[in-house]
Structure 1
Amino acid sequence: MEPRNHTAVSEFLLLGLTDNPALQPLIFSLFLSMYLVTILGNLLIILAISSDAHLHTPMYFFLSNLSLTDICLSNIAVPKMLVNIQTQSQRIIYTGCLSQVCFFLVFTGLENCHLAVMAYDRYVAICHPLRYTVIMNPCLCTLLVLLSLLISVLHALLHTLMVLHLSFCSDLQVPHFFCELAQVLQLACSDALINNLLVYFVAGLFAGVPLAGIIFSYVHIVSSVLRMPSSEGKHKAFSTCGSHLSVVSLFYGTGFGVYISSAVTDTSRKTAVASVMYSVVPQMLNPFIYSLRNRDMKGALRKLFGRMASPL
């Protein structure tokens, strides 16, 4: 088969999670519910933090940025999937597919960086409490967020620009509900060896460095907490880290789970189903984890609901 140049590619076909028409209404309802819960939950977190002066601290500044990232991440793939189910179409234009690849890499990378920055924030708060306000000043907090965004954008652009140099054949069926980088690379007719090597190298570096930072922070946190004389102080210190640890475990656990499942499963469709666990579920659960485990967040949400319910 003669490969076609990438400039001639006009569209891809997103095969979705199943080819059974009877299951499409169920999938539509499930993903619509998850999407609405994700958007509403993360918006409430942002509104609660911005409206409560007691939460204008570095910890909640980073949390509001994490919620904003989750909103953006959920808007990349799910709306297009819902539209395709509703219109009974599988088409996505070439530029739309590359946009999904690029923005998914941007916001997953940004979430990765945010989790590392939040771990550093907890490290400073627990291990250096007297210097916390000096170290975690507004300038540094803003700089950390902007640096995370810059690194994530450069990472995404690197992979996206490399995809632009590939040629594709006539079979452009993506066995997924969105254009994921690994699935798009498999459709290339030209040699994608450099792309694949780059994916593994940069992914290992980009995920490994923040994860190493998180582990380093919590090793020092645990060591510092165990030296505290009072059990009440230990409980308070661990409780401030509980929500973040839960989110970190969910993010990395689902990511590694999908990687393992893709290695042992024999079909791309099963991998697509498994990928829901890291591309949709964490963004939906993060607001619940922080609101249910954090006393300050629950108080801020009660105040927010009270103002919303009170007559104008």
Structure 2
Amino acid sequence: MTSTVNGFGAAIPQGHEGHLGTETARREHGRLGRGAYRGPRTLAAARSALRVALPEPSSRYDQNDEWCVVQQPDGAWDEIRFHDYHRIFDVPGLYEKIFYDVLGCDTPRFMVNLLADALADAGEDASAVRVLDLGAGNGIMAEELATIGVAHSVGVDILPEARTAAERDRPGLYADYLVTDLTALGAGDSRRLTEHRLTALAVVAALGFGDIPPEAFRTAYDHVAEGGWVVLTIKDAFLAEDDTSGFARMISDGMASGALDVVRREKFRHRLATDASPLVYEGIVARKRGPLA
């Protein structure tokens, strides 16, 4: 059958029917997000050339199971799960295409603005902040941090494909980039992080799904100086009383003990789900006042 995907007519295999239509139609029906990603110009052509289709909007998926289909150079359509980051990072511009152009993610910019406000209130200069970007991916958060004057970012991700994509798409952005598992951090990598004299931790849209477990977050947190900044987003469900991921207890206990001194906390729309419903997250900016239990 033939459908329209991102403005192009294309044959899509049965079960992968596109529903995005023209940009005007998608905006009218809420099917196209309004992400504010700017990004390197070198990615613009790659993003515009990519053709992506989502499942029919009547199909509802858990966020951990969302997927799309992407047209390959030979014209075939390939299904990719959103949490198959290694596959997404292998294609220049695909991460930005899916999450920013189609699903309207604006989270890095939103969180960097919250941090900028908190820094201004504290009378601190962003140029002095040294950030550990946990779950760094291909570098979008560090890119946004640079827009407010952060000059020293260190990326950490468990996927070698993420570092490769960051070096390909945003060369020179990171002072260092470690591919490592923070639940089993070696002495060498721990020393390497310590040498960066980190004063902030940023974890955006990566908590609660198993990509970054609580133990990894705690290890990263421990490498940030006392009094440093903690910038995180987490889906509201992972802060509920019935949460089983471990984050609700860790964060609530940190707040109760004073270890996490929250200065900004806001609910916001992280992005659209594939059925166009909003995914609500909480954004938190805090000062590190002590160890997490």
TM-score calculated relative to the size of structure 2 = 0.29
Question: With CA pairs under 8 Å and 6+ residues apart, which has the higher RCO, 1 or 2?
Answer: 1
Structure with max Cα Rg: 1
Report which of the two has the higher share of helix. Answer: 1
When the two structures are superposed, what TM-score results if normalisation uses the length of structure 1?
0.28
